Amino acid sequence: MSLQYIHTSAKRGLEPGKSGFCCVARDREISPDLIQELESQSRYHATSSKNAPYVLRHRISSLRSGVYHILSRIQDSGTDYSKRNNHLAHHLVFEASEVRGLPNPASILLNWKGWRSRWEEPPRTFSPHEAFGIQDMDTKVKERLGSTEFPSIYEKGQLCSRVFPIERNEERYLIEHLRSSLNELPTKNHWRYSFTSRLLPTDQPQDYVWCGAAKREDLPYELDLDPRPLEPPPRQKLSIVTPDDTRTNPNPKSQIPSSKTRKPGSSSPKTSAPAAPVVEIPEEYDRKQRKRPPRKLGKRELSLYINLAIAAAAVVCVLLLVWLYKTRLQSSPIKNAADSPSETAKTNDTPARQWLSFRQAGYPSSQLPLLAPVAKTLAKAGNPTPLAEHDFLSRLQALATEPNPNPLSVPSTLIRNEANSTHLSLAPSDYPALTQAALLPRDLLSPLQELANSGLAPSDPLDSLPAAQFSLASFQAALEAILKQADYAFQPPARPALDAYFAKKSEIESNPNFRPFLSLPQAFGKEPASAFIAFDPQSLLISSGETSYSRYLSSFFASYAFAHRSSTGSSTAFLAALQRVRSQEPITAYQRAEFIHQAIGLVEPSAPEDQAKWRKIQSAWQATFLRDDLMEQAIVGFTLEAMEKAKIELQTLQAQTTSRDILEAKRLRDLESAVSELVKYVKGLISNQEWIVIMK
């Protein structure tokens, strides 16, 4: 799913209270950290309308909410509402997992029909039909014939990073050149490299693989115009130069070309100059051959020699101190939490030194196959840590290619805790799987999977977690993003009525005064659904149509008595009392409860078990309704009236919406509850957890 964001100068922005240069349109699903990133990428600099840059840019940003490919078109937009210079930045964002199968980024920058150059509408959020689609690409646009005038992105057969000096208004031609160049690369590399049509003073050149730089424009940084290989050559072992090698190549350094730093537009230095004629100087006139007479030792020379001696002594003392310090470090145990005692004791051994050097270098993947025998040797010697690290790193390399990879347990020696954040001491450039993997405490995996399988969350919670790091703040932000996504997806027309319905439902269920009257059916052995106010599993009100609690008591007791006629006996007095209970005369609920209590006292069951049951019912009824004090009787009456009003309000609110909206609202509230419980659970996890890596 693509996302859009437009930033320009407006009298009123999309966010309340903002004006001037701000966001005027965006998709609702953009996460907060991505909004901040897009706002920072909307900067622009133009000295005049004739020198207004036309920026076409592709950047790759790694944020807490994920890795994004950001396509930007930033250009001059005339004047704003205050008649001052204005510009418009239009950003199109794709998640890293969505770019497969899309045209290369330069093609989208040039040919997508949805790009905006001005914004004259009120602030708003984009609708789904405005999203990017391949069918909206303008296939009739042809590549400029003169684009081959730019240098190639290859140098001596190797792909290189390059700065392209351009004239004004040549930005689009440069992107056309990069489009045709990207099409020559393998499809998997179309979205791998960042570029921009023109560098701005606020840019950082190292953020781009290919960039255009306007000639005769002063920038606050120096640019290296020489091409630089994107992948460094493989490391070679140092070799000892023999006399034969010296004869073959007496000056190896002279064959290495030197690159000079210069600004765009400056002339390149000359590579060669004509040699001067050689003049032979007689030996008696050659200063190098002439011998000077010995000087006498005076005060000046003596002072010079003394100063030189003092300086030499100081240098010797410093070197001696450095040597003593290094000797002390090598002789003392290495106090590193990542080294086990057995490995520390063997640092003087060759395998231990090799593995320690590998660890201090950040575990480069290029050395991993060569160190497998070293790890096995150390494991046989009693140090299993290197072998565990080697096995984990080997499996991590193959993690991205496995169809359904299982979580990997991370050795504790690879875990680093810094500033309330936990991460792996590995570089994503060495282990690309880390860009698509999440780092989690093992005890958190099961609750996250339960949340994903419950169907409450609109997306997998793992997708919102940052890559290869974990912190309580980022975890809470990921869950909040899921809640916001679910809330944006659920926009019923009767949202106020739904909120009021669930607020009233919560108020009734938490009211301690209602609880004994609503739980009365349990004393008769009936289900809670037969209570005066009851809800089904979908939070819908089970409405019998009866809003009078007095008539509810009459119907409830009469139906129970007729269903258990065999246990009530055939007493004439009970039948008369039951007839009085069923009377339709308008009496209060408290009076109806008194009539029912009198009828229960007239029951004459014959079986002992029936006698015990009716005595239990009579005791529960008396404790629920009857009070000796008049004030307490009035309080019970007020409570029953309040319960009737609450049911009427619930029925009214339920009639204002639909059962489907109530069900969706319940799902949203269940998700909020699950997220709240999950955050509490994470806060309670102990710090020395076992960590795992799992693909998102």
Do 462 and 585 fall into the same domain? no
Q: Which two tokens stand for residue 664?
A: 């969706």
pLDDT at 544: 65
- Structural domain ending residue among the three candidates 198, 214, 229: 229
Domain tally, the chain: 4
Does residue 275 lie in a domain region?
no
On whether the CB atoms of residues 594 and 577 are closer than 8 A, the answer is: no
Q: Which residues of the chain have pLDDT under 50?
A: 143-147, 233-286, 290, 332-348
Q: In whole angstroms, give the CA distance from residue 7 to residue 26.
A: 9
Which uninterrupted H or E stretch holds 177? Answer: helix 171-183
Statement to judge: residues 589 and 626 lie in one domain: yes
Residue whose entry in the numeric block shows the structure tokens 């990921």 = 478
pLDDT score for 418: 80
Nearest to 265 by CA among 228, 212, 227, 209: 212
Within a domain: 242: no
Claim to verify: residue 561 and residue 603 sit in the same structural domain: yes
Nearest alpha carbon to residue 107 among 1, 220, 213, 187: 187
Please report whether residue 73 resides in a domain. Answer: yes
Closest C-alpha among 551, 529, 536 to residue 662: 536
Which conformational region is residue 419 in: left (phi greater than 0), alpha (psi within -120 to 50 degrees), or beta? left
Query: Last residue of a domain, which of 205, 229, 253?
Result: 229
Residue 458 lies in a domain: yes
Residues 591 and 681 in one domain: no
The rounded distance, in Å, linking the Cα atoms of 398 and 386 is 19
Whole-Å CA distances, 2 to 72, 95, 696: 13, 8, 19
Same domain, 22 and 37: yes
Diameter of the chain by CA atoms? Answer: 156
Enter the tokens of residue 550.
């007095």
Alpha helices in 41-127, H assignment, sequence order: 105-111
* Token output for 116: 């905006």
Contact 27, 105 (CB under 8 A): no
Task: Classify residue 118: in a domain, yes or no.
Answer: yes
404: in domain: no
Do 543 and 652 share a domain, yes or no?
yes
pLDDT tens profile 273-306: 444 444 444 444 445 554 555 555 666 777 888 8
The structure tokens listed for 269 are 């230095």
SS3 call for 578? helix
Same structural domain for residues 619 and 645?
A: yes
Domain range for 670? 411-492+662-696
Same domain, 143 and 60: yes
* 422 and 473 part of one domain: yes
Q: What's the confidence (pLDDT) of residue 338?
A: 40
Residues 475 and 586 in one domain: no
Helices (H), 494-607: 495-510, 515-518, 549-563, 565-568, 572-581, 589-601
Write down the pLDDT at residue 265.
46
The rounded Cα 414 to chain-centroid distance in angstroms is 22
- Does 90 reside within a domain? yes
Is 191 within the bounds of a domain?
yes
Q: Which residues of 208-245 are buried (b: 16+ CB within 10 A; e: fewer)?
A: bbbbbbbeebeeeeebebbbeeeeeeeeeeeeeeeeee
Residues 466, 524, single domain; the answer is no
C-alpha distance from residue 517 to each of 543, 557, 641, 643 (Å)? 17, 14, 12, 9
Examine the domain organization and report whether 48 and 122 are in the same domain.
Answer: yes
Radius of gyration of the chain (CA): 41
Cβ distance 44 to 74 under 8 Å?
yes
Last residue of a domain, one of 194, 229, 264: 229
The predicted structure's pLDDT at residue 664: 85
Which residue has 């060495």 as its token pair? Answer: 430
